[in-house]
Structure 1
Amino acid sequence: MASKLELLIEGIVSDMITDPFELVDVEYVKEGSLKYLRIYIDKQGKMSLDDCQHFSHLISEKLDELDPIEENYMLEISSPGLDRHLKKEKDFIREKGKEVELKLFKAIDGVKEFEGTLVGLSEDNEIEVQTSKGLMKFPKKNVAVIRLMIKI
């Protein structure tokens, strides 16, 4: 669940990111003694280092102008990567039919990790995955993380 600050930053940044780019996610997290504002941007094909640098400069200027975060933080602009986490409804639509791995907060019959093919997100906010045990439905609130699986 996104914090109020993350939603605020998403609103500020979303107008700056236009086709062929897509704002994927915004995270504001504390790691050790530092705070990080991570903005994940994607592009059909792949993001380049030049793309990240362009958006880093553009977004940094806007955030300096508006100053929505009072404390010191590190700004990171990056691609969500091959093993991207699925969080928003559009993620579940875009990645339907792909292999995913899913980790639960609480085990089901002693199992907390599942793999399978993403079927989608139901109207009841349940993540549907076709596993080796058949179609399984996981309430989204019970899922710690779901991401695309990387096969080597």
Structure 2
Amino acid sequence: MSRKVTEAVEAIVEPILEEEGLELYETEFKKEGKNWYLRVYIDRPEGRVNLDDCSRISERLSKELDRVDPIPGAYFLEVSSPGAERPLKTEKHFRQAVGKHVYLTTYEPVDGSKTFEGKLAAYTPEKLTMDMDGETVEIPADKVAKARLAVVF
């Protein structure tokens, strides 16, 4: 059910975001405790998403969801930015992260480690190339368990 819901919501929200000069980063429909949450993460191709953007999109999306009613039952709608340490899940996310500092974990050791932090130097659907303080490490994409942007101070 959750896949059908996210696909329906994405079809509704993408034209709204396009009109606003924003883009969809990710959609989640999850049950937490006894409540369902529809989370829509939005991004701005150039620049940052602000609270006004989230509020405006939430209001427009809420009206459209009420009109179309693609989700049976009650749920909470949350619209936000994916954040500075945003998760990297899709090919598009990884491609946008090339040249940026990332943190990732693998399902099994690669070169003796399961955690990696450094600059994502290159990405293909088959492998990620990390620059970790001048040392290059190639990680098979199918071994990546989780990945996110990392804030460097």
TM-score, length basis structure 2: 0.84
2:9 matched residue in structure 1: 9
What is the CA-CA distance between 1:108 and the residue it aligns to?
A: 4.1
Q: Map 1:39-50 onto structure 2 (within 5 A).
A: 39-43=40-44, 44-50=46-52
How many angstroms apart in 2 are the aligned matches of 1:33 and 1:107? 37
Which segment drifts farther, 57-66 or 101-110?
101-110
What is the CA-CA distance between 1:81 and the residue it aligns to?
A: 0.7
1:95 matched residue in structure 2: 97
Amino acid at match of 1:6: T
Decide whether aligned partners of structure 1 residues 127 and 21 sit closer, same or farther in structure 2, where only a CA change above 3 A counts.
same
Looking at secondary structure, tell me which structure has more helix per residue.
2
Q: Which structure 1 segments of 5+ residues have no match?
A: none
Q: Map 1:41-80 onto structure 2 (within 5 A).
A: 41-43=42-44, 44-80=46-82
How many angstroms apart in 2 are the aligned matches of 1:71 and 1:120? 43
Q: Map 1:110-129 onto structure 2 (within 5 A).
A: 111-124=113-126, 126-129=127-130
Say which SS state the counterpart of residue 146 (structure 1) adopts. strand
Amino acid at match of 1:31: E
Amino acid at match of 1:40: Y
How many angstroms apart in 2 are the aligned matches of 1:57 and 1:10? 16
Q: Percent identity?
A: 38
Alignment: residue pair count: 149
How many angstroms apart in 2 are the aligned matches of 1:49 and 1:103? 31
Say which SS state the counterpart of residue 25 (structure 2) adopts. strand
1:26 matched residue in structure 2: 27
TM-score, length basis structure 1: 0.85
